[in-house]
């Protein structure tokens, strides 16, 4: 399954803006996968390893312990006034469902883009996290799953929850004008 996201922009993005797009998609995908796929239901180690990798950059190596068939592959194609990102998974129905859920969350963020204009990252993230669709689809499942992780320290749990918020902020940069998607 492949989903292509097209992000319209006011101007050519600088490298930091451009480099935040792939991890935003990857983070949402893996959070959806790890909170919904039964293979990861009791796996504290995968969350711990991912937390230790940090969430600030694109995933060059998929989180340790992720089944190869469940990995996501992202390609970015930047242009002057838009960026295309193709996200592809080859795994089972659950990994495909996680990509579809990722698309749904990204499209909900797109619907709320105008309401985030002029806000700083923390405010954008908090407002988006309060949206019922995003809250029920991403924030609450991640928080509930992370709360059950017995092997993680509180600061590691907080880092994972903060990564979900950061992801929302990355997708609502003030230079983004629209987000569309096409699934193949």
Q: What are the tens digits of pLDDT across the range 82-99?
A: 999 999 999 899 999 999
Kindly tell me the sign of the dihedral angle through the C-alpha atoms of 46, 51, 56, 57. negative
Kindly tell me the sign of the dihedral angle through the C-alpha atoms of 49, 53, 59, 61. negative
Q: How far apart are CA 83 and CA 151, in angstroms?
A: 39
Residue matched to tokens 């949206």:
131
Quick check: 110 and 172 in contact, CB under 8 A? no
* Burial (CB count <10 Å: 0-12, 13-18, 19+), residue 6: middle
- Hey, what are 165's tokens? 């918020």
Residue 96 region by backbone torsions, left for phi larger than 0, else alpha for psi between -120 and 50, else beta: alpha
Q: What are the tens digits of pLDDT across the range 122-178?
A: 999 999 999 999 999 999 999 999 999 888 899 999 999 999 999 999 999 889 999
Q: What is the pLDDT of residue 140?
A: 97
Q: What is the pLDDT of residue 60?
A: 61
pLDDT of residue 34 exceeding 70, the answer is: yes
Residue predicted with more confidence, 61 or 108: 108
Confidence of residue 61 (pLDDT cuts 50, 70, 90): low
Q: What is the pLDDT of residue 51?
A: 83
Per-residue pLDDT, averaged over 37-64, amounts to 79
């Amino acid at each position: 399954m492949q989903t292509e996201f097209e992000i319209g922009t006011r101007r050519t993005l600088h490298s930091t803006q451009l480099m935040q797009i792939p991890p935003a998609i990857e983070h949402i995908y893996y959070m959806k996968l790890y909170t919904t796929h039964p293979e990861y239901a009791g796996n504290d180690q995968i969350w711990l390893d991912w937390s230790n990798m940090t969430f600030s950059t694109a995933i060059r190596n998929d989180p340790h312990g992720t089944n190869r068939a469940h990995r996501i592959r992202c390609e970015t194609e930047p242009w002057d006034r838009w960026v295309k990102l193709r996200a592809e998974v080859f795994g089972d129905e659950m990994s495909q469902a996680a990509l579809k859920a990722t698309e749904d969350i990204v499209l909900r963020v797109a619907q709320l883009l105008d309401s985030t204009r002029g806000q700083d990252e923390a405010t954008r993230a908090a407002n988006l996290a309060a949206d019922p669709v995003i809250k029920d689809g991403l924030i609450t499942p991640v928080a509930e799953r992370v709360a059950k992780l017995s092997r993680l320290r509180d600061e590691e749990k907080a880092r994972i929850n903060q990564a979900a918020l950061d992801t929302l902020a990355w997708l609502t940069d003030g230079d983004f004008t629209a987000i569309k998607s096409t699934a193949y």
